[in-house]
Amino acid sequence: MMDSWVKQKSMEVLTLMTLAVTTWRLYPPKNPMVINSIESLYKALETLLQKEKSLIFAETEKNLLIYNEQISQNELKQPRIAALFELLINFEIKSVTINHGVTREDLSGFVGILAQQPEAITLSGGINKVIGERNIAHILLGQRVYIAKSSRNKLLAGLDIHDDDIIQYITGANPQLDLDVDQVREMAQNSEWMEQIFKNGMNQIKNKGYMPNSQLSENIVLMMSMLDRIVDKADQEKFSRMIAKSVADLDEDMIGHILSQDIEHYFNGKIFQDVLDQLEGGKIDRVMDILHNQIRHSKPLPGRDGAALFSPPDEQAYQRSLASDKKKMLQQIKDAEKRRNEKKIDGLKQEIAPLLAGKEESFLNASLMDSLAGIVSDLTVHEQHETVEALIDRLAEALLSERQDIRDHASAALVTIIESLPEQRQQAVVERLSTTLMRWIQLETSATEAHKKLSSRLKDHMIKLIQEKRYAECLPLLNAFHLIDYGFLEKNENIQKTSAGIINALSSSYRLDLLFAAYASSGDQEKMDIGRILSRLGNTSLHRLMDLLRDQPDGDERVKILHLIREIGPAALSVIKERSLKDFPWHHHRNLAYLLRFIKNSDTVDALQTLLRHKHQKVREEALESLYLVGEDERGPVLLSLLSTSDDSLKISIIELLGKIKYKEGATALIEMLKARPFIATSARKTIEEVICTALGKIGTPEAAALLAEISNQKFYSMGSYPERVRKAAAKALTAINP
């Protein structure tokens, strides 16, 4: 009894099929009405085929069968069911089987045929020919419909031959069984039923394990022979592959016995090759050893009707026959191996197709990602290098995804694939991907095992680049780790440790010696590239670079080194602070003060304060200029703190700078300094007074107005009077405060 839901859905599909045919006749094929009708039919059929392998309906004795049951007369009289039934009769279609896997294109093609006049289809060679020409693969016409009578037996309508009889007939289990071959052929037109008969027959033969392999193989070959006689010609190729698959699943000795018999003429001469196509590499080798061994032992092998495959009249003729057979077999093996490889390659490419198509969700398919290394290995064996490169490139591209989970899966798979390659190929892949890996290193925030391994791969690549003097290529890769090591790219502690470890590995004493030697002997551009590398290899390297700066007599060379250190900015600060406390020549400290003006950092001012107290004036002046450029809010307090302890020369520079930055909080101290005038003013004192007045004018504080007015109006002959230049400076400052 058919399931009620299945019947309801089947009736719905037939109704929608009639509607689609009618719509096709009324509108052009690309009209939305036609497209929508095909889509509705496809959706309904898709729902049904989720439960059933196929939909089968047929015309029999002026009634309509759905699967193996007739519908009622009332159901048949429904207008759209009746119209479809009439189409079946007009086109002389006995049955329609729509199998799982049917596409919209299949349905569109089939509906388009039914929408034509039957006479036009007949003139084109008949409906079966037209369907074949249009490659409608999942819709079959004219398949026999069988009615189930019990769970054990299936009978063709009008025939009375049981499954067990058929099995005994094709396996030769009952020689006395006399069946009508034409009836058996009629039944065999149902290919699905015939497949089951074959499988049951194979199981019966294999269950006779007590029999020798030679006898069992003869029974299987006999079954091949019988099936070759009764299977419909249209199904010959399908059955050849099915039988070959079953034979290939047997043990090697059994396969050898089967192939050694005269089977090449069965199923249009394809069965022998189909068996070879189904064998895996190792198994085919063992089977061929068995075959060669059997041929070498000169026993005539049984063929059809007991005839020998060969019966050499003399040894020479036998050897020629043997050589010919071997050559033919080897060629067949080669052909089978080629087809099997092509099939395997196609399968592998199908597996990775979603990745190559750029579908990000495919990176979350754990089974697929775990199998990538094996797929790459197989593709490499078969020299599918372009496909391998495309897959690796796609994984590398995914490293730059905004999604963390995609990056994690892609990086893990990429590591596994690289590790599966030969050593030389590993290096080549890392070199090709180095720019992408560098961008990923800068982007990545997850300290995975893959991150650690790929970072190490880049380290090895950088070492290779340095050894090959490809300094310009090495620099951007090194710079990525340098930025992480010094905290300029925000990363977690583990990633920073990884980067620090790579910098340490690259800055071994041996490697630094080589690089500094190369720096000393290189021309301008190469020297600059090497210098940039050295400046990014940590504090040990930077100290050595600073020593070069200290000891270099050539001014141009010193400038080049200063530029190298300026480029790395805050990364140099700890080394500068350390060296500012040591006893180096004043010119080296002056260079340190100069470098600090290019580092805006909270610790920069601390280093400058040390240099502002330096005994050499030029160092102090350089430090003061750097403080002005980078000190920002800290400049005023630092300058005031130095004012009372500085010599006159530095005081003048500090006062000028306080005015320049208009530090209002410094006005009080400057006013007090101006008031506390000694009885006899030195030349330096007079200069200090002049710059104080000028500074107060620039600061613009009103509190200084009274004192400035008093100074500017004072007569030159007054006791303790200010010199003319001071009075003029005071008057000018007063004008600036009170314009």
Q: Is the pLDDT of residue 220 over 90?
A: no
- 605-to-61, 545, 596 alpha-carbon distances in Å: 105, 23, 9
Q: What is the DSSP letter of 306?
A: G
Work out the pLDDT band at 342, boundaries 50, 70, 90. confident
Q: Is the pLDDT of residue 150 over 70?
A: no
Q: In this structure, is residue 585 part of a structural domain? A: no
51 in the same domain as 101: yes
Work out the pLDDT band at 330, boundaries 50, 70, 90. low
Q: In this structure, is residue 390 part of a structural domain? A: no
Q: Once rounded to an integer, what is the mean pLDDT over residues 596-606? A: 88
186 in the same domain as 112: no
98 in the same domain as 19: yes
17 in the same domain as 135: yes
Contact (CB, 8 A) for 319 and 256: no
183 in the same domain as 137: no
Contact (CB, 8 A) for 418 and 429: yes
Q: In this structure, is residue 676 part of a structural domain? A: no
Alpha carbon distance 47, 608 (integer Å): 79
- 728-to-67, 411, 683 alpha-carbon distances in Å: 117, 74, 16
Work out the pLDDT band at 198, boundaries 50, 70, 90. confident
Q: Is the pLDDT of residue 157 over 60?
A: no
What are the pLDDT digits (tens) for 88-131? 888 888 889 998 888 999 999 999 999 998 888 888 888 888 88
Query: How many structural domains is the chain composed of?
Result: 2
What are the pLDDT digits (tens) for 678-721? 777 788 999 999 999 999 999 998 999 999 998 888 765 554 57
What pLDDT score was predicted for residue 340?
65
Mean confidence (pLDDT) of the chain: 83
What pLDDT score was predicted for residue 309?
39
| φ and ψ at residue 495, rounded to 5 degrees | -65, -40
Q: Which helix (H) or strand (E) holds 453?
A: helix 449-467
* Residue 322 burial (10 A CB sphere; 0-12, 13-18, 19+): middle
Q: Once rounded to an integer, what is the mean pLDDT over residues 633-654? A: 90
- 308-to-219, 327, 443 alpha-carbon distances in Å: 17, 19, 74
Q: In this structure, is residue 136 part of a structural domain? A: yes
221 in the same domain as 271: yes
* Residue 482 burial (10 A CB sphere; 0-12, 13-18, 19+): buried
Q: What pTM does this model have? A: 0.55
Contact (CB, 8 A) for 281 and 336: no
Alpha carbon distance 703, 664 (integer Å): 10
The CA angle 227-278-237, to the nearest 5 degrees, is: 35
Work out the pLDDT band at 326, boundaries 50, 70, 90. low
Q: In this structure, is residue 187 part of a structural domain? A: yes
Work out the pLDDT band at 156, boundaries 50, 70, 90. very low
Last residue in a domain, options 289, 311, 333: 311
Nearest to 135 by CA among 112, 109, 104: 109
Contact (CB, 8 A) for 247 and 221: no
Q: Once rounded to an integer, what is the mean pLDDT over residues 524-535? A: 94
What are the pLDDT digits (tens) for 381-430? 777 888 889 989 999 999 999 999 999 999 999 999 999 888 888 999 99
Q: Once rounded to an integer, what is the mean pLDDT over residues 307-327? A: 47
Nearest to 15 by CA among 63, 118, 112, 87: 87
Work out the pLDDT band at 249, boundaries 50, 70, 90. confident
C-alpha dihedral, 65 to 66 to 70 to 76, nearest 10°: -80
Q: In this structure, is residue 171 part of a structural domain? A: no
Q: In this structure, is residue 228 part of a structural domain? A: yes
307 in the same domain as 235: yes
Half-sphere exposure of 491 (CA within 13 A, CB side): 28
120 in the same domain as 212: no
What pLDDT score was predicted for residue 200?
78
125 in the same domain as 217: no
Residue ranges making up the domain that contains 63:
4-143
Q: Is the pLDDT of residue 516 over 50?
A: yes
Q: Is the pLDDT of residue 535 over 90?
A: yes
Find the range with the poorest average confidence among 239-253, 433-447, 615-629. 239-253
What pLDDT score was predicted for residue 154?
40
Alpha carbon distance 485, 538 (integer Å): 9
305 in the same domain as 218: yes
Q: In this structure, is residue 718 part of a structural domain? A: no
What pLDDT score was predicted for residue 341?
66
Q: Once rounded to an integer, what is the mean pLDDT over residues 172-185? A: 65
280 in the same domain as 233: yes
What pLDDT score was predicted for residue 631?
84
Sheet holding 139-141, edge to edge: 69-70, 63-66, 54-60, 95-99, 139-141
Q: Which helix (H) or strand (E) holds 66?
A: strand 63-66
218 in the same domain as 102: no
Contact (CB, 8 A) for 345 and 353: no
In three-state form (DSSP H/G/I as H, E/B as E, the rest C), the secondary structure along 535-575 is: HCCHHHHHHHHHHHHHHCCCHHHHHHHHHHHHHHHHHHHHH
Q: What percent of the chain has pLDDT over 90?
A: 42
